Structures are given as C-alpha cells and as structure tokens.
Amino acid sequence: MLSPVTFIREVVRETKKVTWPTRKQTQDMTLLVIGVSVGIGLYIALLDGIFQKLLSAIL
C-alpha cells in the first residue's frame, strides 16, 4: 500500500502530464454540448407531442 505522501507525489506527477484544452476549445465544446442538448430536447418534445396526439386520437 502506498503512503499518502507517495500517492500525492504521483498524483502531482500525473497531473503535469495532462494536456489541458485551450480556452477556445473549452468554449467551442461547451457550445456544442449546449446545442446538442437543446436539439435532442426539441426532438423529444416533438415526439412527445406526436405520441400525445396519437394516443388522444386512439382513446
């Protein structure tokens, strides 16, 4: 089992190896996630409306 000090040293060493995204990349990916989420939400709302009308017509 690793000592807490060794664990923290390894965490710091591994964190330095990470390639962090740029500010522009972060903004672009955030906008993409928001756009896809809104698109899927609208699609689900459309399907919900269609199924609701179909069910009302059947019943």
Considering the chain, what is the average pLDDT of its residues?
Answer: 95
Q: Where are the domains of the chain?
A: 21-59
Half-sphere exposure of 35 (CA within 13 A, CB side): 6
Contact of 29 with 21, CB cutoff 8 Å:
yes
In this predicted structure, what is the pLDDT of residue 2? 80
Kindly state the DSSP code that residue 16 receives in the 8-state scheme: H
- pLDDT digit string (tens) for 6-33? 999 999 999 999 999 999 999 999 999 9
In this predicted structure, what is the pLDDT of residue 3? 92
Backbone φ/ψ region at 22: left (φ over 0), alpha (ψ -120 to 50), beta? beta
Give the predicted TM-score (pTM) of the model: 0.67
- Asked whether the CA dihedral 3, 12, 27, 39 is positive or negative, the reply is negative
